[in-house]
Structure 1
Amino acid sequence: MDRLNEILGNISGLVWGWPLLVLLVGTGVYLTLRLGFLQFRTLPYALKLAFKPSAQQKGEKGDISHYQALTTALAATIGTGNIAGVATAVVLGGPGAVFWMWITAIFGMATKYAEAILAVKYRVENNKGEMSGGPMYYLDRGLGQKWLGVLFAFFGAIAAFGIGNMVQANSVSDAVVQTFNVPTWITGLILLVFAGLVLLGGIKSIGRVTAFFVPIMAAFYVLGALIIIITNFELVGPAFNTIFTDAFSANAVGGGILGTVIRYGVARGVFSNEAGLGSAPIAAAAARTDYPGRQALVSMTQVLIDTIIICTMTGLTIVMAGEYKGEGSEDGAALTTASFSAFLGDIGGYIVTFGLIFFAFSTIVGWSYYGEKCFGYLTNDRGLGFYKILFVAFVFIGAVIELSTVWTFADVMNGLMAFPNLIGLLLLSGVVASETKRFLKVAKEEKRSAG
């Protein structure tokens, strides 16, 4: 097993090396420039589309609302990365890694927008009348490279069992046994039952659950962090100063190089919001919408909520507490727990534990849909019932076993998903630009008619 971990670790280091990180951020920068800084110009309108209830419009097709598509994608991305991932970035890269997470998110908004617009444009309707879309379809139908679509779907269907399933269940069971001393098998059984009830109902069931669940879980965690920030406001300025200073310092991680700070900031930022990995557009493709651009703007706000808001709450609290300093300091969720507890005592630990439970469970729900759609693409929608049952069973398995190997394997699969997706985004950027121009013209006419 140690040998396998070593091999997978080496592969993960290659996959998540500088080439992929540069490609991820570079794609976001390129799309930002090509779309004329769209994420800044249209953000207020995008937020309005995301959260304002609207009646179904003529010509709309899809299975769930804009808001449900957004919350389904948020359910999958708001997970352990927002709690454990940020803490790991600060420990390994220094406080400045938080700044580079922000930079990744700013350009990642353009990437997420492009993914969603292509997902809706090239989606298909299956024999049940449900929408199927995502990178596998725009690589196949848009780019004309079915083999790239097959590669993405293959990696995605497997990755769903790792980062979207077992590692999330394991994080929950570990947190619960540490905080409440509940055996892992009991936690696994509870997760299995609740996941099964939601997942077997399909995307409409997932959409209803996440529309209710995601705002509550995000507000619960953010409120806890805001209480810390407001009641210890004198520490906020110095914390931001530390983040900005360290972001450009060569002294990160005890005399490391600038690249270490950037690498962990970018890697954990992408791990958190998944911009460029190609997962979220699978949910976007299910949205009821008349223009691809309309849902794409909604999807873009996901990165803002996930990284700019929630990850910032975690990062700022960690830097304010200073628990990351010195050798032997905690890592991952334990560091976030220690940081919240430093200000709020046991209540802080409960906030992180319950946040981790909610975040991880929501990721299981969201990724089940991603994995199902990837598997369906490979099998022409055959064997989906078997895939769902297997997925739910692995929730229990993940809760009760050691997962170091699975974590590394999941990282490899996620990285491999990104390569074909990013190729598709770059080569289809002209389509993204033309669809954007078409929709913004429509949106301008709508605004003129309304006012």
Structure 2
Amino acid sequence: MIELWIGTINGYLWGSILIYLLTGCGIWFTIRLKGLQFIHFFHMFRILKSSRKANSHGISSFQALCTSLAARVGTGNLMGVAVAISLGGAGAVFWMWLIALVGMATAYAESTLGQVYKEQDQNGNYRGGPAYYMSKGLQSKALAITFSLCLFFGYGFVFSSVQANSITDAFHGSYGIEPLTTGIVITILTALVIFGGMKNIARFAELTVPFMGLAYFIICLGVIGGNLDKIPAIISDIFASALGLKEAGSGLVGAAIVQGVKRGLYSNEAGMGSAPNAAAAAVPYPPHPASQGYMQMLAVFFDTIVICSCTAFMILLFDGASGEFQGIQLTQQALAYQVGDWGQDFITFAILLFAFTSIVANFAYADNNLKYLNMDNLLGHWFLRIGFLAMLVFGSAASLPEVIALADLSTGLMTIVNVVALFLLSKVVVSVTKDYHQQCAANKLPCYQPDKTEHSKLHLTKGIWQ
């Protein structure tokens, strides 16, 4: 009975409620921020040029970008896109693009707030995120605790075990390696990374994410380049299928919208409240919260518009896209069709890198929210570490449908709480953004310097923005 209820709730939550809520949030901030993701699109790349600056208090903006990309870019970029196309047709890709462009405004808003309300821990390192802006900006400890509890369960234990399961399945299917053996190796490697804390995780992401993303992008670009004559027809098919212009495919428009929106939302995580945990740990340059908002907006662009689109084009170039292959097998076969059998091996190792970086980033998010669960102490940190690593071993060799269903429920609730907070704090986002753009227009290096009145009004942490 409990499983039935959870399944029913998740069906409504992930099947409709969150789609409308996150889409509405993206549209709301696109309007409130005057379409800054379009008007100031190239500003994201200008900030990227000077994103390597950091100090003893925090990681660099580039490291924060890589950490959030480590979590965003996972098996969904390879498998989820295949599922969306299988169920919704080529038109799903158009709606995936559209929801990503709208979601960039949400990503900007939540990461800017993460920076505004950040604080320092006992070691002098920056930390922040949704729980912090709920507690400070909204003066609601109840919302902060609810959010932290949901994130702790989903990101701290379950989702990483699912990623581990994806890796072990891929290696067992490709090379016959026992899942438990692969799981133990993954767990040992994870321990070596996470025991070094947020800065070590950020350094790992800084080295790994650009490599894995660039390698996958180059391979896909080579495939697309070898089939340039077919690309115009595929793009035409994407738009025609999405808008119901194809007579035979008009009935698929509804499925295309649902699948495309779902893939865009779930892949880029805009509005879910995960990325602000990494964004708040950064030392932004220019030294203004909005600059980190721009960096995380860029993460959504890379994740969905670049990486997911690479997978989509590769699959649509495959003659067997609508055949017997599903999920990750469809992606593997699509690449193998273009480059030979080694394409399957490449996708297997891509899954390893994509999923492993997600595992590491998930730990960082869970660790960042221990404060509001009264676990920000030696015992609490070790409880998370041991539990996190144990679930990797367990999840690598076991099917966890009931636990995954609970994690989906907790993450859904976490997202609702975060979106509500974003709506309530939208005036703060608008005000901070206006301050940033005014300084840019005056040819100044934007620097956030709130006066005493603003400090008191927004309940900012003392000593952070002086």
Q: TM class, shorter-chain normalised?
A: over 0.9
Pairwise CA distance, 1:256: 4.6
Corresponding residue for 1:296?
A: 293
Asked if 1 retains the 8 angstrom alpha-carbon contact of 2:53 and 2:60, the reply is no
Give the number of aligned pairs. 442
Mapped partners of 2:325, 2:403: distance in 1: 22
Corresponding residue for 1:248?
A: 243
The match for 2:305 among 289, 304, 308 is 308
28-37 vs 249-258, which deviates more? 249-258
Corresponding residue for 1:386?
A: 383
Asked if 1 retains the 8 angstrom alpha-carbon contact of 2:95 and 2:260, the reply is yes
Asked if 1 retains the 8 angstrom alpha-carbon contact of 2:157 and 2:387, the reply is no
The match for 1:269 among 261, 264, 270 is 264
7-16 vs 70-79, which deviates more? 7-16
Mapped partners of 2:200, 2:248: distance in 1: 45
For the structure 1 residues 6 and 176, does the alpha-carbon distance in structure 2 shift closer, same or farther, using more than 3 Å as the test? farther
221-230 vs 305-314, which deviates more? 221-230
Is 2:339 the partner of 1:344?
yes
Ranges in structure 2 where 5+ consecutive residues have no aligned partner: 447-466
* 1:115-126 mapped onto 2 (5 Å cutoff): 115-126=110-121
Corresponding residue for 2:148?
A: 153
Ranges in structure 1 where 5+ consecutive residues have no aligned partner: none
The match for 1:40 among 13, 38, 41 is 38
The match for 1:319 among 304, 308, 316 is 316
Mapped partners of 1:448, 1:377: distance in 2: 35
Pairwise CA distance, 1:402: 1.6
Asked if 1 retains the 8 angstrom alpha-carbon contact of 2:59 and 2:202, the reply is yes
Corresponding residue for 1:169?
A: 164
1:301-353 alpha-carbon deviations (Å, 9 max, x no partner): 00010000000000111111143314xx2222111111111111212112211
Is 2:25 the partner of 1:30?
no
Corresponding residue for 2:203?
A: 208
Mapped partners of 1:448, 1:417: distance in 2: 36
For the structure 1 residues 346 and 167, does the alpha-carbon distance in structure 2 shift closer, same or farther, using more than 3 Å as the test? same
358-367 vs 253-262, which deviates more? 253-262
Asked if 1 retains the 8 angstrom alpha-carbon contact of 2:110 and 2:273, the reply is yes
For the structure 1 residues 11 and 250, does the alpha-carbon distance in structure 2 shift closer, same or farther, using more than 3 Å as the test? farther
Pairwise CA distance, 1:408: 3.3
Mapped partners of 1:21, 1:11: distance in 2: 14
Pairwise CA distance, 1:11: 2.1
4-13 vs 14-23, which deviates more? 4-13
Asked if 1 retains the 8 angstrom alpha-carbon contact of 2:158 and 2:391, the reply is no
* 1:103-142 mapped onto 2 (5 Å cutoff): 103-142=98-137
* 1:326-365 mapped onto 2 (5 Å cutoff): 326=323, 329-365=324-360
158-167 vs 218-227, which deviates more? 158-167
233-242 vs 68-77, which deviates more? 233-242
Mapped partners of 1:21, 1:115: distance in 2: 18
Pairwise CA distance, 1:18: 2.1
Corresponding residue for 1:20?
A: 18
* 1:403-414 mapped onto 2 (5 Å cutoff): 403-414=400-411
Calculate the TM-score normalised by the size of structure 2.
0.90
Pairwise CA distance, 1:163: 5.8
For the structure 1 residues 123 and 24, does the alpha-carbon distance in structure 2 shift closer, same or farther, using more than 3 Å as the test? same
Calculate percent identity across the aligned residue pairs. Answer: 37
Asked if 2 retains the 8 angstrom alpha-carbon contact of 1:116 and 1:295, the reply is yes
Asked if 2 retains the 8 angstrom alpha-carbon contact of 1:136 and 1:150, the reply is yes
Pairwise CA distance, 1:32: 0.7
